[in-house]
Structures are given as structure tokens and as C-alpha cells.
């Protein structure tokens, strides 16, 4: 009696996945981003509801600056930080 192996089905590969983890994270991050400016619109909506929107604090501003500098210096490091945080 001869055993016949069934052909294995491999899962669907997503764009950028075969390029490594950095490219895969970039693909996922692009899915998650809001291209319609949801943060600005959300803040505007909350403001319209009477919620006071505070000005950015010093730690928030310095962290945003750090992220911008990290993204300019090294996209893989930025994506790794984004993914882990």
C-alpha cells in the first residue's frame, strides 16, 4: 500500500511580509492610520461637546519630537518602537 501525501496549503502572504518584520510592521501601520484626520476631527467634536482640550504638555511635545527625529534617522527603529509601544 502506497501512502499519498496531501498537498499542503500555505497561508496567504500579505504585502511586504516576505521583506521582513520591518516591512510587515509598516504595512500594518499603514492600515491603522487614519487618512481622514480623525484626531483633529475628534478633538473638534469633543470641543463642541464642551470638553476642554488642554494644550500639549512638555513631555508630550518632547516625545513627539523624539519620534519625528527617530523616523528621520531610521525607519526600522521607528517602526520597531511604534510596534512595541
Tens digits of per-residue pLDDT, 12-38? 766 655 667 777 777 777 777 777 777
Average pLDDT value for residue range 32-58: 87
Contact 27, 15 (CB under 8 A): yes
Cell numbers 476642554 correspond to what residue? 52
Q: What is the pLDDT of residue 84?
A: 81
pTM of the model: 0.49
Q: Is 80 exceeded by the pLDDT of residue 70? A: yes
Secondary structure in 3-state letters for the chain: CCCCCCCCCCCCCCCCHHHCHHHHHHHHHHHHCCCCCHHHHHHHHHHHCCCCCCCCCHHHHHHHHHHHHHHHHCHHHHHHHHHHC
Q: What is the pLDDT of residue 83?
A: 79
Amino acid at each position: 500500500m502506497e501512502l499519498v501525501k496531501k498537498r499542503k496549503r500555505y497561508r496567504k502572504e500579505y504585502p511586504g511580509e516576505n521583506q521582513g518584520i520591518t516591512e510587515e510592521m509598516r504595512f500594518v501601520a499603514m492600515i491603522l492610520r487614519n487618512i481622514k484626520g480623525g484626531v483633529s476631527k475628534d478633538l473638534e467634536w469633543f470641543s463642541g461637546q464642551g470638553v476642554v482640550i488642554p494644550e500639549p504638555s512638555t513631555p508630550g511635545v518632547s516625545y513627539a519630537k523624539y519620534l519625528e527625529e527617530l523616523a528621520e534617522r531610521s525607519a526600522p527603529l521607528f517602526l520597531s518602537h511604534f510596534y512595541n509601544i
